[in-house]
């Protein structure tokens, strides 16, 4: 899809809206540990990556797009492109297939990724291409690879990137298999939720590499020791992403929790434990554990991958509370 050219008034609005978004992310502290990312968000025009998106309305979604003949609607589209919210970019039969993540969450994830000059980064889930553009701005086109299973998504991401002046490697394929011909990688970042950690990612990473991925409504940061071992803890930040295409959803399956106290059923930290231990811990056992251990939040949990085995744990990978992962 060709990117719609903006008139000068909208170009000026885009610049001011982008500056306001950067100030908002700055105030959130999302990149306090690595303020170099501020420059990338200042430079990369998000509106070029979302020429259209959908907003939820009663009964479904309403489309906003850059080519709307109504000037007020085009201005709404542009302002919406620079709000600190996720934007639905692909919807099919009422189901969300792809989205552009909330910018402040993207900033936090990029900061937590801990990139250094010269790092090679693999992104799982090309989306609109916006995240790959931020990485390419920081590291250079040749150090960034992004992959997605859907050829329509990779083609539109490639066009958006080119319109913004970036040309990282955009690959169509199964993200769970990685991109071995572009490895080894120093960092892997996923923008889709997983139900297991693919062994191919570890095999394509060098020692000391870092993997950051959504998992069970959280974000797990793993340090790779070698091709067979990685370990790390969850960030305290909640994160809800579209599942990796072809994988399984990681939210808790609907279950009867009516016998549990309402404060637990509505508590995001307890819902995270249910998602993390799905299939291996009864919800009533989970509640007993959660209360006994002081209602732990995400940051007290972690994941270990060791050869063919992988497990989630509370506080200590060798401690008494561990649950096998698929």
Instruction: Tell me what pLDDT residue 97 has.
Output: 75
Task: Provide the whole-model pTM.
Answer: 0.92
Cβ neighbourhood burial of 313 (10 Å; 0-12, 13-18, 19+)? buried
Cβ neighbourhood burial of 66 (10 Å; 0-12, 13-18, 19+)? buried
For 41, other C-beta atoms within 10 Å of its C-beta total 23
What does DSSP assign to residue 299? G
Quick check: 54 and 62 in contact, CB under 8 A?
yes
* Spatial separation of the C-alpha atoms in residues 136 and 132, rounded to whole Å: 6
* pLDDT (mean) for 282-286: 91
* Bond before 121 cis per omega within 30 degrees: no
User: Which residues partner with 56 through β-bridges?
Assistant: 61
Domains of the chain: 8-234 (3.40.50.150), 262-324 (no CATH)
The alpha helices in 114-180, defined as continuous H runs, are: 130-139, 151-164
Res 260 pLDDT > 70: yes
Give whole-number Cα distances, 324 to 65, 223, 254, 263, in Å. Answer: 45, 19, 21, 27
Res 288 pLDDT > 80: yes
Res 252 pLDDT > 60: no
Q: What is the pLDDT of residues 12-67, one digit of tens each?
A: 999 999 999 999 999 999 999 999 999 999 999 999 999 999 988 777 788 999 99
What does DSSP assign to residue 243? B
Give whole-number Cα distances, 303 to 89, 212, 267, in Å. Answer: 31, 12, 22
Among residues 98, 100, 101, 104, which one is catalytic?
98
Instruction: Tell me what pLDDT residue 1 has.
Output: 41
Res 219 pLDDT > 60: yes
Contact residues for 57 (Cβ-Cβ < 8 A; gap 6+): none
Strand-pair category, 301-306 with 309-314 = antiparallel
Instruction: Tell me what pLDDT residue 248 has.
Output: 41
Task: Specify whether 98 is catalytic.
Answer: yes
Res 250 pLDDT > 50: no
The mean of the pLDDT values for the chain is 91
* Spatial separation of the C-alpha atoms in residues 294 and 285, rounded to whole Å: 14
Give whole-number Cα distances, 130 to 6, 36, 43, 160, 314, in Å. Answer: 19, 17, 12, 8, 34
Res 182 pLDDT > 90: yes
Q: What is the pLDDT of residues 92-131, one digit of tens each?
A: 877 777 889 999 999 999 999 999 999 999 999 999 999 9
């Amino acid at each position: 899809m060709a990117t719609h050219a903006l008139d000068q008034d909208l170009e000026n609005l885009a610049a001011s809206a982008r500056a306001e978004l950067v100030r908002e992310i700055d105030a959130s502290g999302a990149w306090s540990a690595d303020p170099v990312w501020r420059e990338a968000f200042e430079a990369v025009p998000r509106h070029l990556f979302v020429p259209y998106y959908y907003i939820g309305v009663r009964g479904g979604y309403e489309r906003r797009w850059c080519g709307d003949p109504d000037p007020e609607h085009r201005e709404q589209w542009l302002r919406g492109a620079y709000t600190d919210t996720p934007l639905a970019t692909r919807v099919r039969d009422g189901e969300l297939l792809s989205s552009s993540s909330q910018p402040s969450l993207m900033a936090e994830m990029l900061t937590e990724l801990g990139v250094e000059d010269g790092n090679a980064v693999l992104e799982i889930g090309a989306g609109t291409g916006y995240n790959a553009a931020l990485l390419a701005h920081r590291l250079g086109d040749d150090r960034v690879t992004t992959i997605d299973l859907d050829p329509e998504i990779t083609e539109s991401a490639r066009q958006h990137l080119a319109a913004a002046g970036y040309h990282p490697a955009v690959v169509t394929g199964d993200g769970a298999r990685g991109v071995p011909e572009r490895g080894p990688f120093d960092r892997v970042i996923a923008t889709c939720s997983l139900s297991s950690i693919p062994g191919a990612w570890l095999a394509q990473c060098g020692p000391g590499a870092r993997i950051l991925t959504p998992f069970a409504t959280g974000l797990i940061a793993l340090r790779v020791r070698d091709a067979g071992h990685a370990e790390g803890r969850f960030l305290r930040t909640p994160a809800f992403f579209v599942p990796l295409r072809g994988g399984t959803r990681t939210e808790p399956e609907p279950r009867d929790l009516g016998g549990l106290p309402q404060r637990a059923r509505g508590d995001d930290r307890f819902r995270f434990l249910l998602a993390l231990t799905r299939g291996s811990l009864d919800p009533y056992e989970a509640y007993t554990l959660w209360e006994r251990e002081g209602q732990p939040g995400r940051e007290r949990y972690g994941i270990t991958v060791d050869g063919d085995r992988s497990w989630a744990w509370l506080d200590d990978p060798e401690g008494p509370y561990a649950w096998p992962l698929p």
